[in-house]
């Protein structure tokens, strides 16, 4: 019995995220807390923007265009943010991005308070936020390596991923309920408050200047990052795969219309649909404790992709909300499990410092 209990404890230990870095490193604790709060607020806004756009236009195509309008700013922020992160104090970069992200969300809140909200702020404010979100992600990834020693780096990255997965569940569900009972403006203002709290958390960090004083931000630094990406086919392939998944992987633009016309719901139903994907991702991340036993990563990825495709296809065919939510949970789990295998070829590359401009090319969390 004791041997069996020991095996159970070891299995649970591999599945449960190690919280040691939060206890041992105060700087990482502040960084993680700020990310948790800011991500929670951002998930509120994701649901609110989609639902408000649909209510303003009754057009799923317009909801998709608003989402598509954030893609180029997000990629540009990630691309051009790398050189700045490699040149400047990451603490100051993070403080600046919290302010700029709050500005975009303030625009959405003010627009929602108008007697007749306008459509163009949905495009402008979300694009502005997406651009600085890319810079924020690059700065946070680079900051972890300065706040946590190498022995705790894997656990710290897992904690960041777990926090993000948690917000994907709680944030959308809370957004749907808040919109249904209090309206859109409060949801946006809560996101502004979340960025303010994140700003205070980042302000508690020590100065995080790049090692060796950093390199001057410019085209040469940016070109170095691009060369680094091109020098590694696995890294470039993973980047392109992630890009394709971001654009074509999940029909989130359909959620508002499906919630209203198929499932007979409203804002709360939109929140549940988004939260179901996050719940699957959270469950999938727990199930990845034994992926090291899988020897054929390519076959495992193919299976996950097939499961994802079948789940999304079935989701588009079922008219019953509980079944639709269950299918989205399966899809979210398959996506996360597959993402664990993709970084394998280039984990070694990302475990050591790259040239200037490479902060934006770290694995997604």
Lowest mean pLDDT among 50-59, 245-254, 337-346: 337-346
Examine the pLDDT at 221 and tell me if it is beyond 70: no
Can you tell me the distance from the alpha carbon of 353 to that of 350, in angstroms, rounded to the nearest whole number?
7
- Six-digit token string for 127: 């694009």
CB 36 within 8 A of CB 167: yes
154 vs 229, more confident: 154
Can you tell me the distance from the alpha carbon of 50 to that of 47, in angstroms, rounded to the nearest whole number?
5
The structure tokens 């939060």 sit at 22
In the chain, which ranges are continuous DSSP H helix?
2-15, 20-24, 26-57, 60-68, 71-87, 90-113, 120-147, 150-182, 184-203, 219-230, 233-248, 255-257, 267-286, 297-315, 321-341, 347-350
Can you tell me the distance from the alpha carbon of 346 to that of 338, in angstroms, rounded to the nearest whole number?
15
Number of C-alpha atoms within 13 angstroms, CB side, residue 44? 28
CB 324 within 8 A of CB 189: no
Contacts for 101 with CB less than 8 Å, ≥ 6 apart: 38, 129, 132, 133, 136, 195
- Six-digit token string for 231: 């020098």
Contacts for 226 with CB less than 8 Å, ≥ 6 apart: 357
Could you read off the pLDDT of 279-329 as tens digits, one per residue? 988 887 766 555 555 566 567 777 877 888 899 889 989 999 999 999 999
Residue 191's pLDDT is 96
Per-residue confidence at 63, pLDDT binned at 50, 70, 90? Answer: very high
- Six-digit token string for 249: 């992987």
Closest by CA to 129, choosing from 77, 182, 181, 55, is: 77
Can you tell me the distance from the alpha carbon of 323 to that of 89, in angstroms, rounded to the nearest whole number?
48
Can you tell me the distance from the alpha carbon of 101 to that of 202, in angstroms, rounded to the nearest whole number?
14
Please tell me what DSSP assigns to residue 259: I
Could you read off the pLDDT of 158-167 as tens digits, one per residue? 788 888 888 9
Q: What is the pTM of this model?
A: 0.79
Average of per-residue pLDDT across 198-215 = 80
DSSP string, 137-148: HHHHHHHHHHHS
Collapsing DSSP states into helix, strand and coil, what is residue 103? helix
Chain centroid offset of residue 139 CA: 14
The structure tokens 């943010």 sit at 81
64 vs 286, more confident: 64
Collapsing DSSP states into helix, strand and coil, what is residue 33? helix
Can you tell me the distance from the alpha carbon of 181 to that of 102, in angstroms, rounded to the nearest whole number?
23
339 vs 1, more confident: 339
- Six-digit token string for 271: 């929140």
Residue 355's pLDDT is 36
Residue 328's pLDDT is 94
The structure tokens 């104090």 sit at 89
Can you tell me the distance from the alpha carbon of 56 to that of 51, in angstroms, rounded to the nearest whole number?
9
Examine the pLDDT at 103 and tell me if it is beyond 70: yes
- Six-digit token string for 309: 């495709």
Average of per-residue pLDDT across 215-237 = 57
Per-residue confidence at 89, pLDDT binned at 50, 70, 90? Answer: confident
Please tell me what DSSP assigns to residue 117: -
Examine the pLDDT at 120 and tell me if it is beyond 60: yes
With 0-12 / 13-18 / 19 or more C-beta atoms within 10 angstroms meaning exposed / middle / buried, residue 305 is: middle
Could you read off the pLDDT of 1-11 as tens digits, one per residue? 455 444 444 44
Q: Cα-atom radius of gyration of the chain, to the nearest Å?
A: 21
């Amino acid at each position: 019995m004791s041997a069996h209990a020991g095996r159970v404890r070891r299995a649970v230990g591999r599945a449960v995220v190690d919280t040691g870095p939060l206890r041992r490193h105060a700087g990482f604790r502040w960084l993680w807390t700020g990310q948790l709060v800011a991500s929670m607020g951002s998930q509120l806004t994701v649901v609110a923007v989609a639902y408000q756009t649909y209510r303003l236009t009754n057009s799923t195509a317009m909801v998709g265009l608003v989402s598509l309008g954030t893609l180029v700013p997000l990629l540009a922020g990630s691309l051009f943010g790398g050189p700045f992160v490699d040149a400047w104090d990451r603490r100051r970069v993070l403080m600046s991005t919290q302010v700029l992200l709050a500005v975009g969300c303030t625009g959405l809140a003010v627009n929602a308070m108008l007697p007749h909200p306008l459509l163009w702020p949905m495009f402008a404010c979300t694009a502005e936020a997406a651009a600085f979100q890319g810079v924020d992600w690059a700065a946070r990834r680079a900051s972890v390596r300065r706040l946590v020693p190498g022995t705790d780096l894997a656990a710290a990255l897992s904690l960041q991923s777990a926090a993000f997965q948690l917000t994907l569940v709680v944030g959308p569900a809370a957004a749907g309920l808040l919109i249904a009972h209090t309206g859109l403006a409060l949801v946006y203002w809560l996101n502004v408050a979340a960025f303010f709290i994140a700003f205070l958390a980042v302000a508690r960090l020590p100065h995080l200047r790049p090692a060796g004083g950093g390199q001057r931000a410019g085209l040469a630094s940016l070109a170095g990052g691009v060369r680094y990406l091109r020098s590694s086919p696995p890294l470039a392939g993973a980047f392109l795969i992630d890009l394709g998944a971001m654009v074509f992987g999940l029909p989130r633009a359909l959620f508002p219309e499906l919630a209203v016309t198929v499932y007979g719901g409203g804002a709360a139903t939109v929140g549940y649909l988004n939260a179901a994907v996050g719940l699957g991702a959270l469950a999938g991340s727990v199930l990845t404790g034994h992926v090291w036993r899988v020897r054929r990563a390519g076959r495992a990825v193919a299976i996950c992709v097939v499961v994802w495709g079948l789940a999304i296809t079935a989701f588009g065919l079922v008219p019953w909300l509980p079944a639709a939510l269950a299918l989205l949970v399966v899809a979210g789990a398959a996506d996360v499990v597959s993402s664990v295998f993709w970084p394998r070829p280039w984990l070694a590359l990302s475990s050591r410092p790259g040239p200037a401009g490479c902060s934006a090319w770290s694995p997604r969390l």
